[in-house]
Structure 1
């Protein structure tokens, strides 16, 4: 006869697998032991793939990366106490990015709560309204599957997002001798009902607004553009092509492809061509570009968004644009492109891309140059590209040429934090079962370098982390803080210390400690040779750069694009 805690653990994992979960990331702990023993049996029977990580925060972001790459729920398991709090950053990202993440936390039984018992705190409700649903499952609860069903159904709701299962467990927390055969039989039955676990197909974003209409469904001709933000999906590109409209697509939109996509569009918005925009159709969530944000606020520009379902990142009525339910309504809003409108954008886009590429080729290694090289390598060999927040994803937005072979891109744009990015990339590789390149800044890498660590026997992702190491926070040099430090000597040291956060960390030594290969690429040629090789195992490519030149570089890029497309 199985112990009550082990029976609860089996019921919980059965429900998770039935809800589509095929990956569970486990952080070690005692109170969660019944769930760990059941997970081990499910892993042995191939009903569930289990990954073990020593750090709960990294474990949660690993599960997040798996869910991002596969589009299916992934779960993270922790013990009680502070371990639960370490899940909050990933829970926040999953909330705003609409990722189906199961936060599975073990807890002390109710009679120990509020008594000062070790590792006991108020876990139910700890994630507040950042989860779609939550359940405090107590040892005496009956019909566990019925209690779990509505919570797990919320994973795929509108909007999708994380859920919290808090499972209180009483001693004994380990299997009795007679539990082994019963546990193994349960796991075999679970595998027989659900099929083998393992890598899944890569999930591409999709707005889900029905079929894209043909040009005959459009309204009057206009000078409209389609802005494809994070998660827009390939239908945004198809819509732009069908209606003859320019496409301004962020790297993680899933739409940065096709003949209508303009690469260096944010620089073109500062030209006469950008000034001529009359209408903007927004698909997905734009997060990167101040020029796009300014465009969406222009009083002379009409704005609308294709948003068939509620989204987690926006409360109704809080944004300016008109909300449209489907592509047919979008076509009526934008109309077809005015005569000469799309050709002008195509000419300007090609000229801008050429000007950016030429300037980057003449200068020293820089963030945009590295971004362009990583993008091209992923397009060439099919690797998934994980873009770090801050400068790297913006460098991609500036320098990555759109095209039919544009690589799939994953980026944590829900809250755009730098935390957990290495773990997210590793999880994406494990979930999709394909090589991954992650493009990160040095601070993003240092924030999560411990996620390179793998326990003996754990499945290793094919992950190449390309780190632009400019010795601190380069993005601040391009913002108002950098301008202040440059023009006013009184603030120069303050800006450098509190925003630049300079460091002298040895990335090669860190990689050696975590068991990952390290190579330094100091020139474009060296980087090209490294990126030409297949991605195998865990490796870090360190690319040194000088952030003191960033403001000047971006000024030269703006000038080059303005000169390349003067009549636009």
Structure 2
């Protein structure tokens, strides 16, 4: 490599990025730094040629979650370029979330060369396999590309395979593990900047990638779905079965429940909330007598929101199954009690038909009983919402329910996607809206359900654009984000978007309930009413805040993001 016409660092950067573009990477988030310069100059050439789109964020944590939002919306590899040292550490929360959601983030971490490691050189720490079990694959490129296939080539190929869900040994086959994040650690020695030869080569190389097509997915869909949905066949047996649609369940959960005549418990980010079978306030109804009659439960997606659902899925007296046509990232095989089914037709036989099944001791049908009970709960909540709108009486969480209901309806009207923060807000949405024939696309970081990076995630989803995966710049899609005050404060610096950057189309609605209100709904709420625990609960759990949120929002007005503060 000493005889190369370009610096070895530039050659490595070009080789790495070339492979990533060829497997489908079209978006890269960059955090400024010196050691990462070879990657930056190479990716700048790619953007100039219209091969990729780049986004610059000065805060690496913001960069990580912006990339996560892009990957969540596009479901394709998204790169994050950072310099060495603490910059890499700031990506850990986003990588952890991507791990549990199975999102293909590519951490391109610049590093010092081996000769400087362990010497106390500036911004030098151990970055090799930094993310441990939270990445699907990792490689330390100290001299890449290799003259012949060696450990680095094999490791990099494993990263490429992990990003696309492929088998690293048989590229045309799907892997037995879900796609997910990887770390490509690039050890760059000086010089870090292009020379005269690179000035000529970089644009030519970038132009050569303009016509490269994304490879086809190797993850096969369930072939029984369309034939089963299109048939009139129903299982011969009937059971008191319920369908649980967790995060990412998708339309198939609603279609499954609809065809079999089963109650559907659809979390907001399941994106299955458009069925007449969706039960309003299902987690409250679960605590009533109907919940004790459930014989079987079928799970789609990743359920995370409520303890009643967790209790149902932990109940040894209830037979349980999960739809798993492909490997999932959110749980380890064998660690849950549900029996996995790869094919929807087999799952239907397990679930049985709800048509003709009645509740115990009544002629009322199983489905209609759930629908009626949910409707009763919905009316109660709506009465509270109406009183709040008319008089300001905030019974329970009427103010929050009114807010999420307004946001939901606004998204239905203008076609915006809805991003929801963790804690109380998404649970309010779970109670405050009802199924409609059409519903907005809902996103939430439910892999680990943290409040980290929520604003940045919404920005990334917006920047993914209306044109989706089409090559070239696309118009940002409209996104409406609902968060609590703590979630907003936790990620407010993500509103720092420079004047040279593409502005997202995001509207943020902040419910300011002055601290961590979710703890009031848990055991801590009861304890907080006792004098002996009142101060501890308030200080260590609800953590009241005293920040002028309107002033903070104005300070970031140049981001182009509108922020509305709702005080309760």
Aligning the two structures, in what range does the TM-score lie when normalised by the shorter sequence? 0.7 to 0.9
Alignment of 1:101-140 (within 5 A): 101-139=105-143
Give ranges in structure 1 of 5+ residues lacking alignment.
Answer: 196-204, 518-536, 546-568
Corresponding residue for 1:398?
431
Matched, 1:150 2:158: yes
Could you tell me how far apart the structure 1 residues matched to 2:200 and 2:60 are?
31
Could you tell me how far apart the structure 2 residues matched to 1:362 and 1:502 are?
27
Q: How has the CA–CA distance of structure 1 residues 41 and 211 changed in structure 2, closer, same or farther, with 3 Å as cutoff? A: same
Alignment of 1:277-316 (within 5 A): 277-316=294-333
Q: How has the CA–CA distance of structure 1 residues 8 and 103 changed in structure 2, closer, same or farther, with 3 Å as cutoff? A: same
- Give the TM-score of the pair, scaled to structure 2: 0.88
Q: How has the CA–CA distance of structure 1 residues 348 and 69 changed in structure 2, closer, same or farther, with 3 Å as cutoff? A: same
Could you tell me how far apart the structure 2 residues matched to 1:424 and 1:9 are?
27
Deviation at 1:298, TM superposition (A): 2.6
Q: How has the CA–CA distance of structure 1 residues 445 and 423 changed in structure 2, closer, same or farther, with 3 Å as cutoff? A: same
Matched, 1:409 2:451: no
Matched, 1:188 2:207: yes
Say if 2:135 and 2:182, in contact at 8 Å, map to a contact too: yes
Deviation at 1:176, TM superposition (A): 1.5
Q: How has the CA–CA distance of structure 1 residues 11 and 140 changed in structure 2, closer, same or farther, with 3 Å as cutoff? A: closer
Corresponding residue for 1:509?
551
Deviation at 1:219, TM superposition (A): 4.1
Corresponding residue for 1:379?
412
Corresponding residue for 1:173?
192
Say if 1:221 and 1:335, in contact at 8 Å, map to a contact too: yes
Corresponding residue for 2:237?
220
Give ranges in structure 2 of 5+ residues lacking alignment.
Answer: 166-176, 359-364, 389-393, 466-475
SS of residue paired to 2:211 = helix
Corresponding residue for 1:495?
537
Deviation at 1:53, TM superposition (A): 0.2
SS of residue paired to 1:303 = strand
SS of residue paired to 1:191 = coil
Q: How has the CA–CA distance of structure 1 residues 411 and 291 changed in structure 2, closer, same or farther, with 3 Å as cutoff? A: same
Deviation at 1:147, TM superposition (A): 5.5
Deviation at 1:215, TM superposition (A): 5.4
Deviation at 1:41, TM superposition (A): 1.1
SS of residue paired to 1:398 = helix
Corresponding residue for 2:353?
336
Say if 1:386 and 1:436, in contact at 8 Å, map to a contact too: yes
Corresponding residue for 1:91?
95
Say if 1:11 and 1:145, in contact at 8 Å, map to a contact too: no
Moved over 3 A (4+): 143-147, 205-210
Aligned-pair Cα RMSD in Å: 2.0
Q: How has the CA–CA distance of structure 1 residues 287 and 473 changed in structure 2, closer, same or farther, with 3 Å as cutoff? A: same
SS of residue paired to 1:366 = helix
SS of residue paired to 2:563 = strand
Could you tell me how far apart the structure 1 residues matched to 2:236 and 2:221 are?
22
Deviation at 1:351, TM superposition (A): 3.1
Deviations 1:438-479 (A, max 9, x none): 111110110000001111110010011111011110101111
Deviation at 1:493, TM superposition (A): 1.3
Could you tell me how far apart the structure 1 residues matched to 2:213 and 2:178 are?
26
- Give the TM-score of the pair, scaled to structure 1: 0.88
Say if 1:80 and 1:107, in contact at 8 Å, map to a contact too: yes
Deviations 1:11-61 (A, max 9, x none): 111111111111000000000001011111111111010000000011000
Q: How has the CA–CA distance of structure 1 residues 328 and 168 changed in structure 2, closer, same or farther, with 3 Å as cutoff? A: same
